[in-house]
Amino acid sequence: MLDLPSIRELITLIPPLLLALTLHEYAHGWIADRLGDPTARLQGRLTLNPLPHLDPVGALAFLLFKFGWAKPVPVNASNFRSPLRDMMWVAAAGPAANLLLATASSMILQVMPWMSFPAWFAAPLYRMLEMSVLLNVILAIFNFVPIPPLDGSRVLVGLLPPREAVAYSRLEPYGFIILIVLIYTGIVGRVIWPVVSTVAGFLLGA
């Protein structure tokens, strides 16, 4: 039986999740645009409106299986001066944006006790901010895993010597299958969860 979230859980989960996914994809497109590739901007994806970034199947999968995805921002590496290096920066921008958002959410949490919000508003806001910290840390750390199609794989390709980068890129057609197997066998969780717990624990306890 699927463990479906309650209405209360959805209310506190959906806003920080949409913001986290939107900022992640926007950061990819913004850096790509700055480095010479206008593809995301020309296709209307350089926006903070979450709707263009939503993948209906990915959103449903997240609610049902606690694992989902957004619609990737289109990037044409041939527009870059140095495709491997610039793709590395584009890839790193998404997780970096999530870490910045997690930090910002943590800072707001720290000042909330000095704000005079009514209890009916403060309680769900506090929970949303906590979820924002946790979700953004999870997205950042998970996406840094160097397995295609995750951002970490493109960062790794940008760091490897050209010959090794080409060899590693040949894994991409099989990356999604490898990733699914590693997720459902619990290997990815065992690798990233200690890092997630440390970073999120620091930000929530700062």
Positions marked active-site: 25
3-state secondary structure 59-92: HHHHHHHCCCCCCCCCCCHHHCCCHHHHHHHHHH
In the numeric block, which tokens belong to residue 153? 């794989």
What separation in angstroms does the CA of 107 have from each of 130, 132, 133?
Answer: 11, 12, 10
Amino acid at 167: A
CB 151 within 8 A of CB 144: yes
Distance, in Å, from the CA atom of 70 to the CA atom of 181, rounded to the nearest integer, reads 20
Nearest CA to 152 out of 75, 76, 92 is that of 92
Can you say whether the dihedral through the CA atoms of 197, 199, 204, 206 is positive or negative?
Answer: positive
